């Protein structure tokens, strides 16, 4: 009987401990794991928020600096586009590009007179030229590429090439190019009026 009196509290204690462990593993342990996952998720979200705040801080610029940058970009476009509207500048650019490409120009002449369009402060001048030149085939191609990339709004609309003479080996060709140019001015006039 004394053994049973001692045994019963020990059994109840062991059963209670087993019940606590079972309850812990069924209820509390999964909650702890979920809490750990949520803590990691919160940390990653905080990192994303911090990165977003850094991007916002970098994006916030002084409006005056931004306007000055826009004005500088507008001036670059205006100066590049103005070349195509100035026949003297076009002739000069053709000569410079011929030197760079290593070809010789035989003749340049207007193929169409300038068609002017005015829309408020913006003005467009559409013109064209015939350029006859001579040089190696690859040098002629270099000249065409330079013409289309260095002269503002310009494109070569027609190309004809022939050997420079019937007696030559074909290394020198004679090229006949037709170009179109659009000169733009005053497009960004509103930008100039801003403080």
What burial letters (b/e) apply to 92-113, b meaning 16+ CB within 10 Å? ebbeebbeebebebeebeebee
Amino acid 65: pLDDT: 75
Amino acid 105: pLDDT: 95
Chain-wide mean pLDDT for the chain?
80
Amino acid 93: pLDDT: 92
Q: What distance in Å separates the CA atoms of residue 122 and residue 189, rounded to the nearest whole number?
A: 8
Low-confidence ranges of the chain (pLDDT < 50): none
Amino acid 158: pLDDT: 92
Residue 92 has φ and ψ, to the nearest 5°, of: -65, -45
Question: Tokens standing for 52?
Answer: 């977003």
- Structural domain boundaries of the chain? 1-60, 68-191
Amino acid 95: pLDDT: 95
Name the superfamily (CATH) of residues 68-191: Ribosomal protein S6/Translation elongation factor EF1B (3.30.70.60)
Amino acid 3: pLDDT: 61
Amino acid 171: pLDDT: 80
0.85 cut: is pTM over it?
A: no
């Amino acid at each position: 009987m004394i053994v049973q009196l001692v045994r019963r509290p020990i059994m109840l204690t062991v059963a209670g401990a087993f019940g606590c462990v079972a309850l812990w593993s069924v209820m509390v342990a999964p909650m702890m794991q979920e809490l750990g996952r949520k803590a990691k998720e919160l940390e990653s979200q905080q990192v994303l928020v911090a990165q977003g705040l850094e991007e916002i801080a970098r994006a916030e610029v002084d409006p005056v600096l931004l306007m000055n940058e826009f004005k500088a970009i507008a001036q670059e476009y205006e100066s590049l586009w103005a070349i195509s509207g100035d026949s003297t500048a076009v002739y000069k650019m053709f000569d410079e590009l011929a030197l760079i490409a290593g070809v010789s120009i035989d003749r340049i002449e207007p193929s169409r007179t300038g068609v002017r369009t005015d829309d408020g402060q913006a003005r467009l001048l559409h013109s064209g030229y015939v350029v006859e030149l001579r040089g190696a085939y690859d040098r002629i191609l270099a000249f065409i590429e330079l013409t289309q990339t260095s002269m503002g709004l310009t494109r070569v609309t027609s190309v004809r090439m022939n050997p420079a003479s019937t007696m030559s080996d074909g290394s020198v060709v004679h090229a006949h190019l037709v170009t179109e140019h659009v000169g733009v001015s005053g497009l960004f006039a509103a930008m100039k009026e801003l403080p």
